[in-house]
């Protein structure tokens, strides 16, 4: 960023604001798609393919 003369919009490198958006999406994913009883699941996650299918369904 410095080479292009750009500055960060908020916070500094490594503070909580840098990760807030990613943590929010991951929290929504875990609570909405991966938890037991999720409408995106058709059964338990026993293989990688199960997790991939649930992830694909949640994203779409």
Residue 54 · residue 33 · CB < 8 Å: yes
Q: How many domains does one find in the chain?
A: 1
Supply the pLDDT for residue 17: 62
**CA 18 distance to own-chain centroid:** 14
Which of helix, strand or coil describes residue 30? helix
What is the structure's pLDDT at 14?
60
Average pLDDT, integer, range 30-53: 84
When comparing pLDDT for 15 and 53, which is higher?
Answer: 53
Q: What is the CA radius of gyration of the chain?
A: 17
Residue 60 has pLDDT above 80, yes or no: yes
**pLDDT tens-digit profile of 11-36?**
566 666 667 777 888 888 888 888 88
Q: Which domain holds residue 27?
A: 2-59
């Amino acid at each position: 960023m410095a080479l292009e003369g750009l500055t960060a919009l908020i916070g500094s490198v490594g503070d909580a604001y840098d990760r807030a958006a990613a943590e929010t999406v991951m929290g929504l994913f875990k609570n909405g798609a991966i938890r037991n009883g999720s409408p995106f699941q058709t059964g338990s996650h026993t293989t990688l393919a199960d997790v991939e299918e649930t992830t694909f369904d949640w994203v779409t």
